[in-house]
Amino acid sequence: MGLLSKLFGRGSTAPKSTQAEPIEHKGFSIVAEPIAEGGQYRIAGYINKGEGEEQKTHRFIRSDVVASRQDAIELMQNKSKTFIDQMGDSIFN
- Nearest by Cα to 48 from 80, 16, 20, 85: 80
pTM of the entire structure? 0.77
Average pLDDT over residues 32-50: 95
Q: For residue 14, what pLDDT is reported?
A: 42
Asked if the 16-92 domain carries CATH number 3.10.150, the reply is no
Q: Which of 6-10, 18-22, 71-75 has the lowest mean pLDDT?
A: 6-10
* Cβ atoms of residues 50 and 43 within 8 Å: no
Ordered by start, the domain boundaries in the chain are 16-92
The full DSSP string for 34-76 is -EEETTEEEEEEEEEES-GGG-EEEEEEEEEEES-HHHHHHHH
Average pLDDT, the chain: 87
